[in-house]
Amino acid sequence: MFYRHPKPFPDGFLWGASTSSYQVEGAWNEDGKGMSVQDLHTPPAGITDFKVASDHYHHMEEDVALMAELGLKAYRFSISWSRVMPEGDGAVNEAGLAFYDRLVDALVAHDITPVATMFHFDLPLALHERGGWANRATVDAFERYALVLFERLGDRIKMWLTINEQNVMVIHPNAMNPGRLPEAPELYQQSHNMFVASAKATLMLHEMWPDAKIGPAPNITAIYPQSCDPADVVAADNWESIRCWNYLDVACFGRYNPIAWAYMEEKGCTPVFEEGDAELLAAAKPDYLGVNYYATATVAAPKNDGTDRAARAGDQQVMLGEEGVYRSGANDHLTATEYGWIIDPIGMRTTLRRVASRYGLPILITENGLGARDTLEADGRVHDPYRIDYLRRHFEQAQLAISDGVNLIGYCPWSFMDLVSTHQGYGKRYGFVYIDRDEEDIRSMARIRKDSFAWYKHVIETNGAEL
């Protein structure tokens, strides 16, 4: 649809930015924090681990002051479960909880809406060693963790996200399961237990804080068929249902997506429901949807000849394609980042339209951004016109999605500051704020505003009228 006058971004639009605890905090073993699965991460030579990260734990006040200078209306961060409960269950670590107390106070003092993710890839190691999310006891532990968070922070945090990218943890489980890669039946049981945990937290929050809002934060993207060959169209539908809709269908409709369920039956990986699960899933209703959007995917019908599964271009650690379901296709209309991630701003509009049409809920973009090898120039500046261009083109499409009728309430680019990428270290930077460190040398840790910082500040000041 073409609009002569696209609708403006609405008043109160939550211009924000995102991070996650293990990727920015550092202080991996300080003040009583327990270990998480990410602390076991052993990166390849030349790539940093998560022990120091961006040292946000020790720079929190300075970082929040920079958020205020940028003019952020919202900050989406995650809470480290093992900082709050070192064993994942049982004793609460007061020092860890106090860190989030101070962070939330600082945000509120600057009129920045805190948007807290309860679990972002960093399962407490003690729970992992007892079977992780496949063990139903982890659901009970999450419920107790949720109670601690809501009691202590619920008076000030009114926007919660339960679980970050549950679908990615099923599709690319390597980083979340150190020491052992589970087979599909275990992964789908992990996922089911996460659905139940989210539902319990959703019901609990609504009971304790009726004025607060909560939702999931999966990674959602439109999937394109490589051609109009009907077999390619079915393959695209397969993958969109299994990769995306299943996660929002369970959260919003309280039942599994039928195509995804048929896939699980075919592969022998349907999860075991405990008594009451179906009712619980049906009862818990999210108030809004977090959507992490990076790139669309183009897929073709599988060949079923042993070649359907292959590494994603530019990233040998990410395998895509599955016999009988889909294979990765090519899309000549799109370019990619230096890391091989497809750049598709219009695809974001399509994704938002599809999510809005299916679920009719407010949407917060909880992640979207460009990973690049930024350099600190001799003049002490970081020039990142490519990031400005990337975000400008995505913001334009967000505005068109709003014009299409999508109830988009905010946009939190990934990431506020540079941080450690999930598996590609510190060289791959996403932030508006450059952190003076590299993979192996911790240098000064100084916070340096990139060119994109000044640009985004102006976007926020004009509420998106000047991109």
C-alpha distance from residue 363 to each of 20, 250, 411 (Å) = 19, 17, 9
Residue 164 sits in the site that holds ligand BG6 (CB under 6 A): yes
CA 289-272-190 angle, to 5 degrees, is 50
Provide the 8-state DSSP code for 160. E
- Contacts for 335-341 with beta carbons within 8 Å, 24 or more apart? 337/370, 337/371, 337/372, 338/314, 338/372, 338/373, 339/314, 339/315, 339/371, 339/424, 339/428, 340/312, 340/313, 340/314, 340/315, 341/294, 341/295, 341/314, 341/371
- Interface with ligand BG6 by CB under 6 A: which range of 54-62, 162-170, 183-191, 436-444? 162-170
Measured distance CA(467)–CA(109) in Å, rounded? 28
Provide the 8-state DSSP code for 107. H
C-alpha distance from residue 192 to each of 140, 186, 188 (Å) = 14, 10, 6
- Interface with ligand BG6 by CB under 6 A: which range of 86-94, 150-158, 350-358, 417-425? 417-425
> Smallest Cα–Cα separation from 457: which of 17, 23, 8?
17
Whose Cβ is closer to ligand BG6: residue 89's or residue 165's? 165
Residue 414 sits in the site that holds ligand BG6 (CB under 6 A): yes
Q: 22-41 mask for ligand BG6 (x: CB under 6 A)?
A: -x------------------
Minimum distance from residue 437 beta carbon to ligand BG6 (Å) = 16
In this chain, which of 428, 429, 447, 450 binds ligand BG6, going by CB under 6 A?
428
Minimum distance from residue 175 beta carbon to ligand BG6 (Å) = 9
Minimum distance from residue 96 beta carbon to ligand BG6 (Å) = 20
In this chain, which of 168, 194, 400, 406 binds ligand BG6, going by CB under 6 A?
168
Q: Which active-site residues does the annotation give?
A: 165, 367
For residue 115, the cross-strand partners are: 76, 159
Number of residues that bind ligand BG6 (CB under 6 A): 15
In this chain, which of 292, 351, 368, 399 binds ligand BG6, going by CB under 6 A?
292
Whose Cβ is closer to ligand BG6: residue 302's or residue 371's? 371
Residue 113 sits in the site that holds ligand BG6 (CB under 6 A): no
Minimum distance from residue 270 beta carbon to ligand BG6 (Å) = 26
Rounded to the nearest 10 degrees, how much is the dihedral formed by the CA atoms of 440, 442, 444, 447?
A: 90
Whose Cβ is closer to ligand BG6: residue 345's or residue 371's? 371
The neighbour count for residue 4, using CB atoms within 10 Å, is 4
Respond yes or no on whether the N-terminal peptide bond of residue 20 is cis (omega within 30° of 0).
no
Residue 431 sits in the site that holds ligand BG6 (CB under 6 A): no
Residue 48 sits in the site that holds ligand BG6 (CB under 6 A): no
- Interface with ligand BG6 by CB under 6 A: which range of 164-172, 184-192, 263-271, 276-284? 164-172
- Interface with ligand BG6 by CB under 6 A: which range of 223-231, 275-283, 389-397, 421-429? 421-429
Give the residue carrying structure tokens 């993979």.
439
Whose Cβ is closer to ligand BG6: residue 397's or residue 422's? 422
For residue 289, the cross-strand partners are: 363
Residue 219 sits in the site that holds ligand BG6 (CB under 6 A): yes
Measured distance CA(251)–CA(282) in Å, rounded? 8
In this chain, which of 21, 238, 257, 421 binds ligand BG6, going by CB under 6 A?
421
In this chain, which of 88, 371, 413, 464 binds ligand BG6, going by CB under 6 A?
371
279 contact partners, CB below 8 Å, separation of at least 6: none
Residue 54 sits in the site that holds ligand BG6 (CB under 6 A): no
- Interface with ligand BG6 by CB under 6 A: which range of 2-10, 31-39, 256-264, 422-430? 422-430
- Interface with ligand BG6 by CB under 6 A: which range of 39-47, 161-169, 344-352, 379-387? 161-169
Q: Are 65 and 129 in contact (CB under 8 A)?
A: no
Give the residue carrying structure tokens 């499409």.
397
Q: Are 355 and 248 in contact (CB under 8 A)?
A: yes
- Give the footprint of ligand BG6 on this chain (CB under 6 A): 20, 23, 164-165, 168, 219, 292, 367, 371, 414, 421-424, 428
